[in-house]
Amino acid sequence: MSVQEVETRVLRPERFEEVLPPERYAEFAAAMQRARELFEGRRVWNINSTASGGGVAEMLRSLLAYCQGIGVDARWLVIGGNPDFFRITKRIHNFLHGSEGDGGELGDAERRIYEETIDEGASELVSMVAAKDVVLVHDPQPAGLVARLKEKGASVIWRCHVGLDLPTDVARQAWQFLLPYVTQADSLVFSRREFAWEGVDGSKIDIIRPSIDAFSAKNQELDGDAVSAILAVAGLLDGEAKSAPTFHREDGSPAQVQRTADYIEGGDAPKPDDRLVLQVSRWDRLKDPVGVIRGFAEHVAPQVDDVHLVVAGPDVEAVADDPEGAEVVLESIAAWESLDSDVKARVHLASLPMDDGEENAAIVNALQRRADVVVQKSLAEGFGLTVAEAMWKARPVVASKIGGIQDQIEDGVTGLLVQDPKDLEEYGGDVADLLQNAQRATEIGKRAQNRVRDEFLGPRHLTEYLRLIERRHL
């Protein structure tokens, strides 16, 4: 097992004063003060297995930067292993989602490989941590380190970012594999109560929901001109950019979108005045892009004339370790091919450039801000960051009533929940309703934005971690 420290940046937490209501900001300011005192002379370590790609890395990057800004010495270690180790941990990850993955087992042989890998680098890693420190161990890959960190005297929180609403036998196999490691932690944190495992002492369980970064390239404010310019330069809307396609990078420096996206189905881009329905997600069957297309064609397009659908995802060429992505793109193209020609002209499959992560994020940001309705018609979802991202932009969202989506959207108030994720008529009907009731859509969007401001930004997330550490005297 290799161990690498990821450099954490420093971001000013005081910038949240711009977006939070005064009483919320005061609460956060008080928490920051307590955190400074509690962590005087101590460190908070985070351990996971990737520095980029995926929601966990995205959250750590921003939350740890705010910790540094608060004056808490927050560190980030990434462990690496050989292909056998990652084959097993990927299997565990799939099982935790209730999916059979590669069909392999989690038996004694797998446990031996897992433990041997962890043992190889454990001493080096543990030597970096002091007995007074707090360590957050994220997800299955580094779970085997919990006992070693406890022996050292550190306080340890195991943070599980995945889960499913109803446990399955496959999920239980992964739990059995991990339980001997994770139950040694002082606290086990899940994103929702329903994700907590059988066999864990209930008094050790804590629930903390994820968050988005209001100021990242993905979520920062963009005015209407910048949105139009970014989408025009990216080739996602017809016409020329009339102003600069500018966004701001994490370090605050201005940058411009330069690369173009592709409409892979080969149709013309929507016109600047067309209304848009949008789903942004990885090309994954569990995000159901084919259902999004068919539901739109059958239940939205016939009812609303001027509306187009954009289904956008990363350029699959750039995601070399996901063979499924290319297959799902082909399935989506086949669904588009089967549409009547008038509907075909209104359905677009966008492949977004991945060369520069922040440019990709700025394009997603512009698409979400430009959309009249955002959908997330997933069949399974741990949290669904795309939902919070769209809500933060005051977009009305139609999303499946599953996993963490249910914690974000209050049905009919801050978005619409599709009760049966496979029911195309219900999904299409909800989308058409919002397109035909502009006032309802605006009100829902406004309430959605307030909900994200209050519940799904970094200050709430960090304050909950602090309260957990205080409550458990870690």
- Binding residues (CB under 6 A) for ligand UDP: these are 55, 218, 280-282, 313-314, 352, 360-361, 364, 383-386, 389
Q: How far apart are CA 63 and CA 329, in angstroms?
A: 33
Closer Cβ to ligand UDP, 59 or 301, answer by number? 59
Nearest to 105 by CA among 117, 118, 93, 92: 92
Nearer to ligand UDP, 326 or 345 (CB): 326
Q: Report whether 167 contacts 148 (CB < 8 A).
A: no
Q: Please report the sign of the dihedral spanned by the C-alpha atoms of residue 363, residue 366, residue 368, residue 370.
A: negative
Both tokens assigned to 184: 């040694």
Distance in Å, CB of 271 to ligand UDP, minimum: 23
| Cβ at position 375, least distance to ligand UDP in Å | 12
Smallest distance, Å, CB 141 to ligand UDP? 16
Residue type, 287: K
Cβ nearer to ligand UDP, comparing 110 with 389: 389
161 contacts 385 by C-beta, under 8 angstroms: no
CB of 344 to ligand UDP, least distance (A): 23
Nearer to ligand UDP, 97 or 346 (CB): 97
Q: What is the DSSP letter of 283?
A: S
- In whole angstroms, how close is the CB of 404 to ligand UDP at the nearest point? 8
C-alpha distance from residue 135 to each of 50, 214, 384 (Å): 17, 26, 26
Cβ atoms of residues 190 and 464 within 8 Å: no
Q: Smaller CB distance to ligand UDP: residue 133 or 250? A: 250
Q: Is 143 helix (H, G, I), strand (E, B) or coil?
A: helix
55: Cα within 13 Å, side-chain hemisphere:
20
Give the separation between CA 199 and CA 193, rounded to whole angstroms.
Answer: 14
Which of residues 122 and 257 has its CB atom nearest to ligand UDP in the complex?
Answer: 257
Q: In whole angstroms, how close is the CB of 387 to ligand UDP at the nearest point?
A: 7
Nearer to ligand UDP, 297 or 352 (CB): 352
Q: How far is the CB of 282 from ligand UDP (least distance, A)?
A: 5
User: Can you count the helices (H) and strands (E) in the chain?
Assistant: 16, 16
